[in-house]
Amino acid sequence: MFFVTIVAIFTLILYFYDTRTFKYWKERGVKYVEPVLFFGTYTDVYLEKKSRSQIAEEIYWKYPNEKVVGAFKSTTPELIIRDPDLIKHVLINDFPSFYCRGLNHTYDVEIFRKHLFAIDGDLWRMLRQRMTPAFTSGKLKAMFPLIVERCEKLQSRTLSAVTGKRALDARELMARYTTDFIGACGFGINSDSLNDENSPFRKLGANMFKVTLRDSIVAVLKDVFPYSEKYLKTFKRVEPDILNLVKRILTERNYKPCGRNDFIDLMLEYLNKPMEAESIEKVGENPIHVKMILNEKLFAAQVFVFFGAGFETSASSTSFTLHQLALNPDVQKRVQEHIDQVLTKHNNKLSYEAVKEMTYLEWTFKEGLRMFPSLGFLMRRSTRKYKFQEINLDIDKRVNIIIPVQALHMDSKYWDDPEEFRPERFHPDNFGASQKMVYFPFGDGPRNCIGSRLGLMQSMAGLAVIFSKFTVEPASETVRYPKVEPKSNVVQSIRGGLPLMFHERKQV
């Protein structure tokens, strides 16, 4: 009897703990999605039936007349923002109130969650300042010869499929290309994923985004009990491989820049040295400066995100663009003619200058990103109490903010015939203020994607070499409207890949 009583009391305490926030939006007069115990609004996410992007998109369309909609990530209140003006406040105008990404519940997290994309506050600001010089135009131009080498291998890999008259999974093809690109340009490693089917580097990349049953359970526990985060590791299975990779690279370079001017060289300039920045957390009348040492483990965390984000996002966006061009042959023909004209002007050689001139290809890629952005939603977290003046809404500190990028990119309120693949949308005469307000393939504001120009360059170079030599068509197994992988989290991916047929072009 005593045991039953204890269980009953514990269950009651757990129930009240888990439902304590469930009236948050009702008390503020905000329409919201009714939450359930433990899962909040995201039951289908935790059960791996839908991705977070899909849930955000569903909520967006369910409340077409609302500027904001309430939701709950387990017990944490979330606000889905549908209005472009309010979004601008969060991302840009009132950034000091929303500088947190919101991926970590506390600062005391495993080392591989202390990277530029996930970490918040002063550490984020210091890392951002240190890493920004790696992505200047000069650095990108200097590494372009390495890109050309990977593009040549991409052509060879594609040609082998043409010869064998078999379909290629465009998603896997571009993941191998972007993996080789990041390996060479970021770390000075010749991973050769395009030729080696069993490339350890490619396996490492695939493993980073693999979602296991343990991962799903850990995700629920972290959201229900946020302070358990310090004890529950998300990246346990890849941590030894990443640490060993970093150790090997550092040893080969003798812990000093070697003159390659790649990402590792840049970070080595700051290894075991203090980073300093004006505090974003401690705000007073006079600026407060904070310092921190960039140690080897923190170094490894930045390598982790540079590798993971660098190959996964570009692989997702380029493969979807290939898929759309296979289904839109007239657009594909214009892309090919445009690429041919630019390359002819540059003696049929791919170069940094040539890629910069491929404006129609850039519009095409941006259209692919519109229809299927790598990040289907953006997330921020309030760092203090805040009032949305336009709608007279007060929120507390630590409320999650969700910006449903996928839905905004496909809303006919901002885009004519959004289901149509039309690169001309991005002609300067057509891409106006209303579109700029809702187009977020790389985020916006101070926490926008630091590597957006690098991602654009590697993606356009890869697409250029493919369409200069090949024509892409649907395969027998191609699905016109592919489904989103429900297990995908921050970066969207397609379930089952994107099989396409590649045919060698007849050279005139």
DSSP states along 313-332: HHHHHHHHHHHHHHH-HHHH
What whole-number distance in Å separates Cα of residue 196 and Cα of residue 318? 21
What whole-number distance in Å separates Cα of residue 208 and Cα of residue 219? 15
Task: Calculate mean pLDDT across residues 447-468.
Answer: 92
Task: Calculate mean pLDDT across residues 86-100.
Answer: 96
* pLDDT over 90 at 462, yes or no: yes
Q: What pLDDT score was predicted for residue 470?
A: 95
Mean pLDDT across the chain: 87
For residues 27 and 285, the model is more confident at: 27
Q: What pLDDT score was predicted for residue 175?
A: 86
- Which residue(s) pair with 68 in the sheet? 81
- Angle, CA of 143, 149 and 150, to the nearest 5°: 95
- Condensed to tens digits (0 to 9), the pLDDT of residues 48-66 reads 899 999 999 999 999 999 9
SS (H, E, C) 429-478: CCCCHHHHCCCCECECHHHCCCCHHHHHHHHHHHHHHHHHHEEEEECCCC
Task: Calculate mean pLDDT across residues 300-319.
Answer: 82
Least confident of 10-14, 68-72, 174-178, 370-374: 10-14
Q: What pLDDT score was predicted for residue 27?
A: 95
Q: pLDDT band at residue 315, thresholds of 50, 70 and 90?
A: confident
Tell whether residue 151 is among the known ligand binding residues.
no
* pLDDT over 80 at 67, yes or no: yes
Task: Provide the sign of the torsion angle of the four alpha carbons 301, 305, 308, 311, taken in this order.
Answer: negative
* pLDDT over 80 at 222, yes or no: no
Q: How many domains does the chain have?
A: 1
Is 0.75 surpassed by the pTM of this model? yes
Q: pLDDT band at residue 507, thresholds of 50, 70 and 90?
A: low
Q: Is 237 helix (H, G, I), strand (E, B) or coil?
A: coil
The closest alpha carbon to 70, from 57, 83, 81, belongs to 81
For residues 416 and 102, the model is more confident at: 416
The closest alpha carbon to 410, from 384, 389, 443, 440, belongs to 440
Q: What pLDDT score was predicted for residue 321?
A: 97
* pLDDT over 70 at 113, yes or no: yes
Domain that holds residue 314: 2-504
Task: Calculate mean pLDDT across residues 459-470.
Answer: 95
Q: Which one of 247-256, 291-300, 361-370 scores highest in mean pLDDT?
A: 361-370
Least confident of 124-128, 323-327, 436-440: 124-128
* pLDDT over 90 at 444, yes or no: yes
Q: What percent of the chain has pLDDT over 70?
A: 92
**Residue 188 DSSP code:** -
The closest alpha carbon to 399, from 32, 97, 29, belongs to 97
What whole-number distance in Å separates Cα of residue 233 and Cα of residue 243? 15
For residues 234 and 181, the model is more confident at: 181
The closest alpha carbon to 246, from 207, 303, 193, belongs to 303
Task: Calculate mean pLDDT across residues 230-240.
Answer: 74
* pLDDT over 90 at 356, yes or no: yes
* pLDDT over 70 at 16, yes or no: no
Q: What pLDDT score was predicted for residue 20?
A: 81
Count helices and strands in the chain by DSSP H and E runs: 20, 11
Task: Calculate mean pLDDT across residues 481-503.
Answer: 89
Q: What pLDDT score was predicted for residue 508?
A: 54
Least confident of 159-168, 382-391, 419-428: 159-168
Specify the pairing of strand 470-474 against strand 499-504: antiparallel
* pLDDT over 80 at 136, yes or no: yes
Q: What percent of the chain has pLDDT over 90?
A: 47
- Condensed to tens digits (0 to 9), the pLDDT of residues 389-421 reads 999 999 999 999 999 999 999 999 999 999 999
Q: pLDDT band at residue 358, thresholds of 50, 70 and 90?
A: very high
Task: Calculate mean pLDDT across residues 439-466.
Answer: 92
What whole-number distance in Å separates Cα of residue 70 and Cα of residue 433? 27
* pLDDT over 80 at 476, yes or no: yes
Q: pLDDT band at residue 234, thresholds of 50, 70 and 90?
A: confident
* pLDDT over 80 at 39, yes or no: yes
The closest alpha carbon to 268, from 133, 113, 115, 107, belongs to 133
* pLDDT over 90 at 266, yes or no: no
CATH number of the domain that 486 lies in? 1.10.630.10
Least confident of 16-20, 149-153, 370-374, 442-446: 16-20
Q: pLDDT band at residue 118, thresholds of 50, 70 and 90?
A: confident
Q: pLDDT band at residue 209, thresholds of 50, 70 and 90?
A: low
